């Protein structure tokens, strides 16, 4: 869709943000060689997580360590290798704190989204280990009984994990069943389809390629529109005492 000069669907508010592809600006991320990285969500906007969208060419590479953080990488398109393991579109990898990583491009055009946050230890729990998986092999479940809104959970829902990353798929016309307001923060990337997202008291058209940040207790609701399912991957913080 073409917009008049100076127009964009991107909106940055104190409690939420919608970042459309037309407003992305690439940043240089230390350790990511030959890659174009867009910092979509970060502490600079008041968030508790970092969300990166990274384009990795065939010759692109990255090397680093998670340190005290944890990361989940999801391959949006193309293919790459992570610590010698081949990953293609729909594959994901969770890297716990204290993990060294080496990533190399393997396809002409590879794009991945990364959710990263500081891991919060929990008394009596050991930090989780690395997890590798394929979203296509994870069974979806009706959300609150609605077969037209389906959820895939990429990570185990156990106390050791303080991060959940899920994929939500809505058939055209399907909605969140009510306006949500809760303690969990969200970062998300739309993978397909389109719809209308209510954020606070505002309504925003969204589509594949858009990123959204939702602060805790910001009201949210979504309806899928168009002729194809709407699908997004999203992060939330879980399994820790409220603060």
Average pLDDT over residues 132-149: 98
Contacts of 89 (CB under 8 A, 6+ apart): 75, 76, 77, 78, 79
Q: What pLDDT does 243 receive? A: 86
Question: pLDDT confidence of 67, banded at 50, 70, 90?
Answer: very high
> Burial, 28: exposed, middle or buried (Cβ in 10 Å; 0-12, 13-18, 19+)?
exposed
| pLDDT higher than 90, residue 179 | yes
For residues 88 and 75, is the Cβ–Cβ distance under 8 A? yes
Please identify, in words, the CATH class of the domain defined by 24-135: mainly beta
Residue span(s) of the chain under CATH 2.60.120.10 come to: 24-135, 139-237
Give CA–CA dist 14/197, Å, rounded: 17
Residue that is written with structure tokens 């008394």 in the block:
123
The third-level CATH classification (topology) of the domain covering 139-237 is: Jelly Rolls (2.60.120)
Contacts of 164 (CB under 8 A, 6+ apart): 153, 155, 157, 235, 236, 237, 238
Contacts of 129 (CB under 8 A, 6+ apart): 96
What are the pLDDT digits (tens) for 20-33?
A: 999 999 999 999 99
Q: What pLDDT does 6 receive? A: 87
| pLDDT higher than 80, residue 194 | yes
Average pLDDT, the chain: 96
Two tokens, residue 242: 């409220």
Q: Per residue in 150-168, is it b (16+ CB within 10 Å) or e — as a string?
A: bebebbeeeebbbbbbbbb
* Extended strands (E) in 78-139: 79-82, 85-88, 91-95, 100-105, 110-118, 131-134
What are the pLDDT digits (tens) for 114-125?
A: 999 999 999 999
| pLDDT higher than 80, residue 4 | no
Q: In this structure, what are the phi and psi dihedrals at residue 141, rounded to the nearest 5 degrees?
A: -130, 140
Full-model pTM: 0.96
Percent of the chain with pLDDT over 70: 99
Percent of the chain with pLDDT over 90: 95
């Amino acid at each position: 869709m073409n917009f008049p000069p100076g127009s964009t669907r991107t909106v940055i508010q104190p409690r939420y943000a919608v970042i459309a592809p037309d407003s992305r600006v690439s940043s240089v991320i230390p350790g990511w060689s030959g890659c174009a990285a867009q910092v979509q969500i970060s502490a600079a906007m008041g968030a508790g997580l970092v969300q990166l969208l990274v384009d990795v060419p065939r010759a692109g590479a990255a090397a680093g360590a998670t340190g005290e953080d944890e990361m989940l990488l999801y391959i949006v398109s193309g293919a790459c290798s992570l610590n010698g393991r081949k990953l293609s579109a729909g594959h994901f990898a969770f890297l716990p704190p204290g993990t060294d990583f080496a990533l190399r491009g393997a396809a002409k055009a590879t794009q991945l989204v990364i959710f990263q946050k500081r891991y919060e230890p929990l008394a009596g729990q050991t930090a989780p280990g690395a997890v590798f998986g394929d979203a296509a092999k994870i069974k979806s479940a009706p959300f609150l009984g609605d077969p037209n809104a389906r959820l895939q959970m990429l990570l185990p829902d156990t106390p050791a994990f303080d991060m959940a990353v899920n994929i939500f798929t809505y058939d055209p016309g399907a909605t969140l069943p009510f306006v949500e307001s809760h303690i969990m923060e969200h970062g998300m990337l739309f993978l397909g389809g389109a719809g209308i997202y209510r954020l606070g008291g505002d309504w925003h058209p969204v589509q594949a390629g858009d990123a959204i940040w939702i602060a805790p207790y910001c009201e949210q609701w979504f309806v899928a529109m168009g002729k194809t399912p709407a699908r997004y991957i999203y992060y939330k913080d879980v399994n820790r005492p409220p603060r």
